[in-house]
Amino acid sequence: MLALISAVVALFGTLATAASPITHVVIVLQENRTFENIFHAYPGAATVNSGLDHLGNTVPLIEVPLMTPWDPAHSYAKWVAEYDSGKMDGFDLSTTDFGTAPPTDFAYAYARRADVQPYWDLAAEGALADEFFADHRSQSFAGHQFPIAGASGPIDAADPDYYASGNPSGGQTCDKPGTGAAINLQTGKEDKKYTSCFDYKTLADLLTAKKKSWAFYIDAASATTSYVSSFAVIKHIRSDAAQWSNVRSPATSIFADAKANKLPSVSWVIGAFANSDHPGQTVPSSNGPNWVASVFNAIGESPSWGSTVVILTYDDWGGWFDEVKPPVQFNAFEPGFRVPFVAVSPYAKRGYISHDVHYMGSILHYVETLFALGSLGTSDARSDDLSDIFDTTQKPLPYVPVTPEAVASPQAATSPDYVPPGLDPD
């Protein structure tokens, strides 16, 4: 009887998947921002005007340009300090990874509204999630593995409880492997090292097994050398010419694929570092939002629009303040803090704010459900499938192009709350 029930459930799941008008998922991955940092004061979303420091003092949030000349540190140890056993009050203990000396309490900051207007416009056109959490508690290397695998480990078969946590040094991909700190999921101790070439299963493997297409759009300069090239650290994909052919350069080649209605079933889109929103760069604040807007506009104004969902999210919190405590602890490394999430589609609920709890694994679960792929059994298995965000029975919504921001000079300081780098606000 149980076998019969399972078969019926599987059949209806297959029929539901076949009936879905969405046949393309595009995931645009940016870097190093919390929800509060990008969507502070967004109407209807859960945001605040101040936080607490580790001494219990109230710290007002300040507005700064999106592209600050400092980069908040965001190692696992920094996450633990900022989390402070769930009190979310250790952000005054933050330091920087690189860049010009920041003001006091620099982590308690949100991006200037004018700089992130394209993101707000996309959120208004689609669905915004204000309870979307990163799956991990460390840096960008791990943050680019979870969106393809729901994990950053195991680092090898002999160490199933160890995931990559710190960024590698001496190399970053299978072409030139480096080493970095690995964390024990049970103890929280970073007491092993990993080599940046793994062989665990990814969502791409599930897609290939079901004869579904996929692509990873990235600039050639990063494709085989950078931590952002997620599949370049997966040995069985990097060493297989057929699989590696799905890694496409430049990243802007997605524009032509969308225009020709040739988008694969699932795409990941990684912009150049200057367009990534990663803090600490001397580039205009408009770079990242304009890059993301160009991707959404290219798809939204193409024949691919009618069957596509485009998702914007971020690899990690980047050291910035966020007030919302992760709702659970799966282990010592998962999950992390809130990061932005926006989904735009003819079948996304327009202007909707999801207050349901979602994780990076929710994107994987959504894709697995949509294409009947089965499960990786990692963060996808414990995450929801974003079902509250979509309504495939609604009349398909037209795309409204997002207006790019005017290109301003780097670190233009027009906000009265902005503290120029190097000056102490006290």
| CA neighbours closer than 13 Å in the CB half-sphere of residue 307 | 16
* Residue 6 reports pLDDT greater than 80: no
Q: Which two tokens stand for residue 36?
A: 């509060």
The pLDDT-based confidence of 401 (bands split at 50, 70, 90) is: very high
The pLDDT value recorded for residue 385 is 98
∠39-42-45 over CA atoms, to 5°? 95
Average pLDDT in the chain: 91
**CA 104: distance to chain centroid?**
28
96, 98, 99, 104: CA torsion to nearest 10:
10
**In whole angstroms, what is the distance from residue 402 CA to residue 115 CA?**
13
Q: Are the CB atoms for 53 and 106 separated by under 8 Å?
A: no
- Give me the residues paired with residue 29 across strands: 313
* Average pLDDT of the segment spanning 213-230: 96
* Residue 74 reports pLDDT greater than 50: yes
Give percent of the chain above pLDDT 90.
87
The pLDDT-based confidence of 406 (bands split at 50, 70, 90) is: confident
* Residue 321 reports pLDDT greater than 60: yes
pLDDT tens-place string over residues 246-271:
999 999 999 999 999 999 999 999 99
* Average pLDDT of the segment spanning 316-322: 98
Q: Which two tokens stand for residue 38?
A: 């990008």
Q: Are the CB atoms for 120 and 340 separated by under 8 Å?
A: no
Instruction: Name the DSSP letter for residue 404.
Output: P
Give percent of the chain above pLDDT 70.
91
Instruction: Provide the 3-class DSSP secondary structure of residue 285.
Output: coil
Which pTM does this prediction carry?
0.91
* Residue 9 reports pLDDT greater than 90: no
Phi and psi at residue 305, to the nearest 5°: -55, -45
Q: Which two tokens stand for residue 310?
A: 């485009």
Topology of the domain comprising 22-149+198-389? Alkaline Phosphatase, subunit A (3.40.720)
pLDDT tens-place string over residues 351-373:
999 999 999 999 999 999 999 99
* Residue 199 reports pLDDT greater than 60: yes
The pLDDT-based confidence of 405 (bands split at 50, 70, 90) is: confident
Beta-carbon count within 10 A of 5 CB: 9
Q: Are the CB atoms for 70 and 279 separated by under 8 Å?
A: yes
The pLDDT value recorded for residue 100 is 76
The pLDDT-based confidence of 201 (bands split at 50, 70, 90) is: very high
The pLDDT-based confidence of 408 (bands split at 50, 70, 90) is: low
**In whole angstroms, what is the distance from residue 180 CA to residue 227 CA?**
12
∠114-75-385 over CA atoms, to 5°? 70
* Residue 4 reports pLDDT greater than 90: no
**In whole angstroms, what is the distance from residue 338 CA to residue 40 CA?**
12
Instruction: Name the DSSP letter for residue 152.
Output: S
* Residue 335 reports pLDDT greater than 90: yes
The pLDDT value recorded for residue 343 is 98
* Residue 11 reports pLDDT greater than 60: no
Query: What's the order of all strands across the beta sheet hosting 266-269?
Result: 247-248, 214-217, 266-269, 24-30, 308-314, 341-344, 127-129, 352-354
Structure-model confidence comparison of residues 4 and 167, the more confident one: 167
pLDDT tens-place string over residues 13-47:
444 445 799 999 999 999 999 999 999 999 999 99
**In whole angstroms, what is the distance from residue 94 CA to residue 273 CA?**
23
The pLDDT-based confidence of 97 (bands split at 50, 70, 90) is: confident
Q: Is 171 left (phi over 0), alpha (psi -120 to 50) or beta?
A: left
